[in-house]
Amino acid sequence: MKRIDKLYDMKLHDPYMDKSQYKDPTICPSCKLIYHNKRWFWDEDYYKELMKDKSKVNFKKCPACRKIEDHYPLGIVELVGDYVKENKQEILNLIKNEAEYEMKRNPLARIMSIKETDDGLVIETTTETLAKKLGKAVHKAHQGELEFSFSDSQKLLRVYWSRE
Ligand SMILES: [Zn+2]
């Protein structure tokens, strides 16, 4: 039983966020995010300074870029209904603005993909918080019905929003 519990815990924990796998300082070669003093951040000046002596820097993809590469979303937002098709551009702009805003707070929060389906739009995110914020932003601006469902078998938040 213990082993099952342990597996369960591991799934609910974000396996990409284990900081012990990153040395200080680390630069993500994909997005230039820097890991330093247990934090991830962008800093153009510090990046240039670090790149002067690459022997002192570790290069490893950040958790966000690895999730995107492995296709490991922590949030899935489904926007469903005729209203979505009729107001697609406006909704997409809102989603992009909200994602940019959240990325300033947490640079590891990214939109992984935006897909158009027969029912509307599906957005995958690298964090649950971003998925939740996208759902709330759409709900606030466009009303409709909003629902959250947390997977109990892995760390994944599903957000459903619909308006006919
Ligand atoms: Zn990165």
Where along the chain do its domains lie? 2-68, 73-162
Containing 93, the helix (H) or strand (E) segment is: helix 88-105
CA of 40 to the centre of ligand 1 (A): 10
Predicted pLDDT at 2: 39
Ligand 1 (ion): residues with CB under 5 Å are: 28, 30-31, 33, 62, 65
Predicted pLDDT at 4: 43
**Is pLDDT at 38 greater than 70 in this prediction?**
yes
Question: Which class for 60: exposed (0-12), middle (13-18), buried (19 or more C-beta within 10 A)?
Answer: middle
CA of 27 to the centre of ligand 1 (A): 8
CA of 41 to the centre of ligand 1 (A): 10
Rounded to whole angstroms, the Cα distance separating 89 from 163 reads 15
Return the bridge partners of 27, or none. Answer: 34, 59
Percent of the chain with pLDDT over 90: 83
CA of 67 to the centre of ligand 1 (A): 9
Q: What is the pTM of this model?
A: 0.88
